[in-house]
Amino acid sequence: MANIHQSIAELVGRTPLLQLNGYNRAKQLSANIIGKFELFNPNQSVKDRIALAMVEEAERTGKLQKGDTIIELTSGNTGVGLAAIAAAKGYKFRVYIQDQVSKERFQVIHALGGETVKLSEVPEVVEVFEKYGPDFIKCVEAIERHVSGEKNVWFADQTRNPQNPNIHYRTTGPEIWQDTDGRVDAFVACVGTGGTLSGVGNYLKKHNPDVKIYGVQPTEDSFQSPERPEQEEITGVHPFENTKEEYIPANLDRTVYDGYFEVHTNQAYEAARLLAKKDGILVGASSGAALYAATQLASRDEFRRKNIVVLLPDTGLRYLSTHLFEE
Ligand code: PMP
C-alpha cells in the first residue's frame, strides 16, 4: 500500500531514540545515555508538536477561525513550528521574538511566510524590561496588552496553553516508554515553558514512579549583561529554580522533577561538539545543555548501567551563525 502523507501535520512526532555510543565511549560513561532526537520533526524541533496541538485544539473549540492571525511570543522554535502549521493550514502568523536569537530563526520564519516583530519594537515590552529586566512571564502579559485591541487574532501562548504539556504527555512520553520497552531509568530535559519536562515526566512517572526526572537551567553567568555583552545564551531555556516565583511558567509542574542541573553556555557547546564528532549529528545549544547534565548524572553510582534518556530539542543547523560549532 502506498505510504504518502498529505500534510506536514502527519509528520510531527514519532522521533527516534539513538543510543549515543560514540559520546558514551568518549566520556567513558558507565551509564547509557540515549538521545531523543526532536530534529526529526518536519521543521526540526520539538516545538512542531506543541504548534500542531495548540492550533488543532483552537480550531476544535472555535477560538481560531479561517482568516485569523496566529500570534505567539517565542525565542524561535515555537515560531518556526507555528509558522509552518499556519502556512500548511492557511492562517497568517505573527511572532514576537527576542532580539538576540540566531538569525537563522528569523530567516526560517520569513521563509515560511510569517511576520517577525522584535521585542525591542514593542513599547509595552520595553517598559517591562526597563522595570523588571528580561522577565519572560511579564513579557507574555505585555504582548497580551499589546494585541488586546486587535480583532481576528489568536494568541497561542505556549507558557499557559495546557495543550503544551498535554501533547508531550500524549506523544513524547509514550514514544520514549514504548521505544525503550519501559526500560528508562532517568529522563533529562531543559526547561523553557516547562511543557516537555512536565508532560514527559508525568507520563513516565505514571508508568513507573521510580523513574527519575531532571530539569536543566542555565547558570546565571550564561546570560548577557553589561559585564558580559558578548555572552551567547542557551536559547529557549530559562531559570526555574532559585528564581522569583512569578518567573516560573504556569506549564511547569514543579512536583514532577526529582532534581535539576545548572549548565553554562560553554559546557552546553562542549557537549554538542563532542556529540557531533563522535556520533555524527548536529544538535542545538539546549540539546548540548541537556546532554551535559545527563553526563553529570551518568557519573553517579546509582546510574551505573542504567538508561538515561535525554531530550535533544532541535538541530545544530539553526545555530551556524553562533559560536556553537566554532572551537
Ligand atoms: N530548547 C529549545 C531550543 C527551545 O526552543 C525550548 C522551548 N522554549 C526548550 C529547549 C524548552 O522546552 P520547553 O518549553 O518544553 O520547556
**How much is the pLDDT for 252?**
97
Q: Determine if ligand 1 sits within 6 Å of the CB of residue 112.
A: no
Q: Please give the grid coordinates belonging to residue 82.
A: 507555528
Distance 2 CA to ligand 1 centre (A): 35
Q: Please give the grid coordinates belonging to residue 175.
A: 514514544
- Per the listing, cell 520514549 goes with 176
Distance 53 CA to ligand 1 centre (A): 16
Determine contact, residues 299/29, Cβ cutoff 8 Å. Answer: yes
Apex CA 256: angle with CA 79 and CA 157, to 5°? 25
Across the beta sheet with 92-97, what order do the strands follow?
A: 115-118, 92-97, 69-74, 153-155
* Residue positions annotated with a catalytic role: 47, 286
Q: Determine if ligand 1 sits within 6 Å of the CB of residue 194.
A: yes
**How much is the pLDDT for 136?**
77
Q: Whose CA is nearest to atom 4 of ligand 1?
A: 236
What Rg value do the Cα atoms of the chain yield, rounded?
Answer: 19
**How much is the pLDDT for 132?**
86
pTM listed for this prediction = 0.96
CA distance 29 to 238: 28
- Which of ligand 1's atoms lies nearest the C-alpha of 77? 5
Determine contact, residues 309/34, Cβ cutoff 8 Å. Answer: yes
pLDDT digits (tens, 9 = 90+) for 70-115: 999 987 899 999 999 999 999 999 999 988 888 888 999 999 999 9
CA distance 77 to 75: 7
**How much is the pLDDT for 110?**
96
Determine contact, residues 50/87, Cβ cutoff 8 Å. Answer: no
CA distance 102 to 315: 13
Determine phi and psi for 97, rounding to 5 degrees: -135, 145
**Furthest C-alpha separation in the chain:** 61
- H or E segment and range at residue 201: helix 195-207
Determine phi and psi for 76, rounding to 5 degrees: 140, -60
The SS3 assignment for 247 reads helix
- 265-279 vs 285-298: helix crossing angle, rounded to 10: 90
Bridge partners, residue 69, by sequence = 92, 153
**How much is the pLDDT for 101?**
83
- Which of ligand 1's atoms lies nearest the C-alpha of 76? 5
- Which of ligand 1's atoms lies nearest the C-alpha of 158? 14
Q: Which residue positions in the chain have pLDDT lower than 50? A: none
Q: Whose CA is nearest to atom 7 of ligand 1?
A: 236
Q: Whose CA is nearest to atom 8 of ligand 1?
A: 236
